[in-house]
Amino acid sequence: MPSIEAIAQRAAAADGAAPLDEATLMALRSGQVKSTQHDGAFYLVRGTELTLVVDPPARRHGLGTALLGEALAQYPQLSSAWSHGNHPGAAALAASAGWDRVRDLWVMRRPLGPDAEPLPELEVPAGVKLHRFGERTGDSYEVLRVNREAFADHPEQGSMDLVNMAQRMAEPWFDPAGLILAAPDNGLGTLGFHWTKRHSETLGEVYVVGVDPRSQGRGIGRLVTLAGLHHLADEGITEVLLYVEATNKAAVRTYEGLGFTHADADTHVMYARQPD
């Protein structure tokens, strides 16, 4: 029987989007999800969230419908599920089961390198200093504080704690130089940060941009985003992606102003239901 990750890899190759996001993968590898696997499919349960993946050769035989029914019978508290890449099969399955489309998460992309539109110059305003993670005592707690306050209404990112941050920093891709903090030049507190991620030799990500709510309106988000993009460009990255809520118009405008674009196919969709 193929492993869960092998099925997920084949689904990603067929659909153009990985069916398991980072949080689900980390939870799977640490044994923090409940998993059920059949020959050509599997489903995972993490809290009230469902992940269901059918191996491409096993599709269109009712396996997804059968597994959804089994999952709901076993875990009636399930209330949400993501379709990574807005897959039409997932949309049809959700509609047939009475699940509603409630969130759109956009993937935006920007080329870097000599053939791409140049990045704007990085101009740090008076009274602000940029530094890499770890250059100042207490950076871990400052990142957590700003992240918690900036994403207070975000169901995934806002829940990051010290343990979860340490897990992320233990991943092979983590580079302290790619986590850039903006602070007042007196060194007290943190105005915002940009955590970058390197997926490969050429692909990077605007992983997390967090701004202290008290510093909103000062251009801190654009400043740290641009600082991270310059860092990735200096590392040889030639394409950068990011994830942003489709409804976050201010963030979308900032990213568009930095040269990012969105294609309709680059959309992740959350479906939801009222649990039993």
**Which amino acid does the sequence have at 68?**
L
Together in a domain, 87 and 145: no
**Final residue belonging to a domain, choices 87, 106, 125:** 106
Render pLDDT for 46-86 as a digit per residue (tens, 0 to 9).
999 999 999 999 999 999 999 999 999 999 999 999 999 88
Together in a domain, 93 and 141: no
Together in a domain, 138 and 213: yes
Q: Which residue has the higher pLDDT, 272 or 276?
A: 272
Note the residue count of the chain: 276
How many structural domains does the chain have? Answer: 2
Q: Does the residue 254 lie in any domain?
A: no
The predicted structure's pLDDT at residue 157: 83
Together in a domain, 123 and 218: yes
Cα–Cα distance list, 161 to 56, 75, 224, 247 (Å): 36, 27, 22, 25
Q: Does the residue 273 lie in any domain?
A: no
Taking the C-alpha atoms of residue 105 and residue 195, their distance in angstroms, rounded to an integer, is: 19
Contact 207, 171 (CB under 8 A): no
**Which amino acid does the sequence have at 3?**
S
Together in a domain, 17 and 100: yes
Res. 113 pLDDT band, cuts 50 70 90: confident
Taking the C-alpha atoms of residue 11 and residue 25, their distance in angstroms, rounded to an integer, is: 15
Together in a domain, 95 and 141: no
Q: Does the residue 267 lie in any domain?
A: no
The predicted structure's pLDDT at residue 154: 79
Render pLDDT for 80-111 as a digit per residue (tens, 0 to 9).
999 998 889 999 999 999 999 999 999 999 99
Structure tokens at 19: 């069916």
**Final residue belonging to a domain, choices 45, 75, 106:** 106
**Final residue belonging to a domain, choices 106, 137, 172:** 106
Beta-bridged to residue 128, according to DSSP, are 184
pTM beyond 0.85: yes
State the CATH number of the domain containing residue 132. 3.40.630.30
Together in a domain, 97 and 167: no
Mean pLDDT estimate for the chain: 93
Together in a domain, 59 and 147: no
The predicted structure's pLDDT at residue 29: 87
pLDDT surpasses 90 at 181: yes
The predicted structure's pLDDT at residue 117: 94
Q: Does the residue 142 lie in any domain?
A: yes
Together in a domain, 45 and 75: yes
**Which amino acid does the sequence have at 161?**
D
Together in a domain, 79 and 98: yes
Q: Does the residue 194 lie in any domain?
A: yes
Q: Does the residue 100 lie in any domain?
A: yes
Render pLDDT for 131-152 as a digit per residue (tens, 0 to 9).
999 999 999 999 999 999 999 8
Structure tokens at 12: 């990603």
Helices 88-97/63-74 angle, 10° precision: 50
The predicted structure's pLDDT at residue 186: 87
Domain hosting residue 202, numbered range = 117-237
End-to-end CA distance of the chain: 33
pLDDT surpasses 80 at 162: yes
Q: Does the residue 268 lie in any domain?
A: no
Q: Does the residue 266 lie in any domain?
A: no
**Torsion angle in degrees (nearest 10) through CA of 114, 116, 117, 122:** -60
**Which amino acid does the sequence have at 96?**
S
